[in-house]
Chain A
């Protein structure tokens, strides 16, 4: 087969994927960029929408809240997922049962989880009743600007951790046992084995989990909409919720498009940095 024919065959096989990506991803993104450059009722391109949102304290605070949320929630979820994966990778009694229990929230729609948590986190709800057992006084949870974001982090983690754990667990089971044997023969202790065998061997699944989790957490919407609608006092107003409010509640589509473009750029930047940091550094040498 000639080279050009090879290219054609490859293209034919890739066509459905390329088509889907173009229609479902690239085209809407281009529309967003186009619309974000048109101020309301304007016919020529300008940066008015961007100037408007960046001078708007509500949008500014939603960016800050989102970044803070990301910095806390991503390492937390990955650490917990990794910890659980290592725990369940050992032969514990009833491992299958525990795995199912941890993975279960993934199978429940995020919106349903949020509704259930909303009831549990009511000031007169289950969470406070359980705290009372340990002698801890009632907490305001979702009604307090100091605690609401932490509650969102708790709920999104409860939903997501089982999923990331599954991927990391698969990665752990792919690590050849012989590497650990060799490490033990060389006299490594548990901590050293984790640092020099487990972590490097887990780099691929960890990269995937890090990037996918970061993206997922940038796009958190349902729990916020259901639990707090961005409140109290905008303490949980993540960018996704801010975009939704602009587009569908206050009907300001042009600034919603601009905010969408900002969100995409922000996400691409963070993900690019993560790829660089997790890239093949020196281990091919």
Chain B
């Protein structure tokens, strides 16, 4: 660790020296470092737009694998590395980062941020009512269906209006029908085993997020509704409706290959599905539990300026350009079509999006608009979220493989409360 700090110091000194000598020649040039888990191509449009607007500021992007993002922030921001200026932050990890002092209060920007975002989005940027991050991206889900498989089974296409939303029971029945007519699988989630996409099952049945109590540091995953939701999830795989034993990364190709009738996934799948040869598909809203409420997952990356940035003013200019400036915020999603949080940028985005995906774009636009407004629910904000998510992802994996529901949930609740007690 100390060697990293030394290297960083040396680099910072070298950078400082070079900027001093450069200053003698021209107006002060600054190079900012932006870190994210995206490929360079995703942030290239926004960097180009920013550099065109501020010619004396250059932006260098460092792409870090998602799995190493935590460890990188832990090592570099924790080590007070001044070479990171602006960073992508996964929303549910904000409380843990605040508790470690990695994020500074942005309350002085409240007046600028508030009119641009929904209250749910504002909550995701804040901890205990204080804003710590800037609004970058959000997400939602929709249900894709394979038109050919539905035709074969004589199933009418589900509608794309909020009133047309099907229940999970209806989906199970239709899935069995589609399978009887030749579909290999009836229904699946894109992200099996992942809390982000499965949280809505439990929220829809009224089970709660799984975390309660002060600071969301107590696990509650053994109540009747959790058991009900988990039994439903487990039965999808036990009955062969959804694929057991297929790794999560290999699930989307099942839909592109025409092996799945119904598929819940993010709008980021549209591009790939449209390019899939011979695949005819439509989109509908995510199902819900009969008697429960419709719920969709949301949230994504937020943006923050490192408290140790060597150029805090320029860094803030970049961060604000990428989030609060509608044109800038739109540029961040141009090469990665997921919704920006900034409502003005969203307006630009959604029309561009509808036109981009011929055939399904208009339906997708309609669904995304009402889901983000009416049914979006954030992941629980908690300093223990990372631990919670890890344990829950494993629980979902075990349920998918056929573990008994009640003992699995009881065991996980005990493990969670033991782990979370070390965070309190």
A interface residues, Cβ below 8 angstroms from B: 40, 52, 56, 58, 118-119, 121-124, 140-145, 229-233, 245, 248-252, 254-255
- What residues make up the interface of B, taking CB atoms closer than 8 Å to A? 70-71, 96, 243-247, 250, 386-387, 390-391, 393-394, 397-398, 400-403, 408, 415, 418-419, 422-423
Listed from nearest, the 10 A-B pairs whose CB atoms lie closest are: A250-B387, A249-B390, A123-B245, A143-B401, A232-B401, A143-B245, A231-B397, A250-B419, A122-B245, A40-B422
Given known contacts A123-B244, A143-B402, A233-B403, A252 and B419 CB-to-CB distance under 8 angstroms:
yes
Q: Are A124 and B387 interface neighbours, CB within 8 A?
A: no
Shortest CB distance A237–B (Å)? 9
A140 and B401 CA atoms in complex are apart in Å by 9
Q: How far is the CA of A255 from the CA of B421 in the complex (A)?
A: 13
Q: For residue A60, give the distance in angstroms from its CB to the closest CB of chain B.
A: 13
Docked CA distance A58–B403 (Å):
17
The answer, among B96, B250, B397, for a CB contact under 8 Å with A229, is B397
Q: Chain A residue with minimal CB distance to B397? A: A231
The 17 listed contacts between A and B (C-beta, < 8 Å) are A118-B247, A121-B245, A122-B250, A123-B246, A141-B245, A145-B401, A231-B394, A232-B401, A232-B402, A248-B70, A249-B386, A250-B386, A250-B390, A251-B387, A251-B423, A252-B419, A255-B422
Q: Please tell me if the beta carbons of A232 and B398 are within 8 angstroms of each other in the complex.
A: yes
Nearest CB of B to A273, in Å: 33
CA distance A184 to B388 in the complex (A): 67
A245:B245 contact, CB within 8 angstroms: no
Q: Which among B386, B403, B423 is the interface contact of A232 at CB below 8 angstroms?
A: B403
Residues of chain B contacted by A250 (CB below 8 angstroms): 386-387, 390-391, 419
CA–CA, A233 to B71, complex, Å? 26
By a CB distance below 8 angstroms, the chain A residues around B70 are 248
Q: Are A142 and B245 in contact (CB under 8 A)?
A: yes
User: By the criterion CB–CB under 8 Å, are A58 and B415 in contact?
Assistant: yes
CA distance A255 to B418 in the complex (A): 12
Residues of the A chain whose Cβ atoms lie less than 8 Å from the Cβ of B402: 143-144, 232
List B contacts of A119 (CB < 8 A). 247, 250
Q: Provide the residues of chain B in CB contact with A254, threshold 8 Å.
A: 422
Complex Cα gap A56–B403 (Å) = 21
Q: How far is the CA of A141 from the CA of B394 in the complex (A)?
A: 17
Q: Judging by beta carbons under 8 Å apart, are B418 and A56 in contact? A: yes
Interface centre among A141, A145, A233 (most CB of B within 10 A): A233
Chain B minimum-CB-distance residue to A125? B245
A233 touching B408 by the CB < 8 A rule? Answer: yes
- Report B198 CB to chain A, min CB distance, Å: 16
Known: A119-B250, A231-B398. 16 other contacts (CB 8 A): A119-B247, A121-B245, A124-B243, A124-B245, A142-B245, A143-B401, A144-B401, A145-B401, A232-B403, A245-B390, A249-B390, A250-B387, A250-B390, A251-B386, A251-B387, A252-B423
Cβ 8 A contact of B397, one of A121, A232, A252: A232
Task: Give complex CA distance A178, B227 in Å.
Answer: 72
**CA of A40 to CA of B421, assembled, Å:** 10
Contact A230 B401 (CB under 8 A): no
Which residues from B are CB-within-8-Å of A58? 415
A245: chain B residues at CB < 8 Å are 390
Please give, as numbers and ranges, the residues of chain B lying within 8 Å of A231 by CB-CB distance: 394, 397-398, 401
Q: Which residue of A lies closest to B419 (CB)?
A: A250
In angstroms, Cα B58 to Cα A113, docked, is 41
- Which residues in A have their C-beta under 8 angstroms from that of B397? 229, 231-232
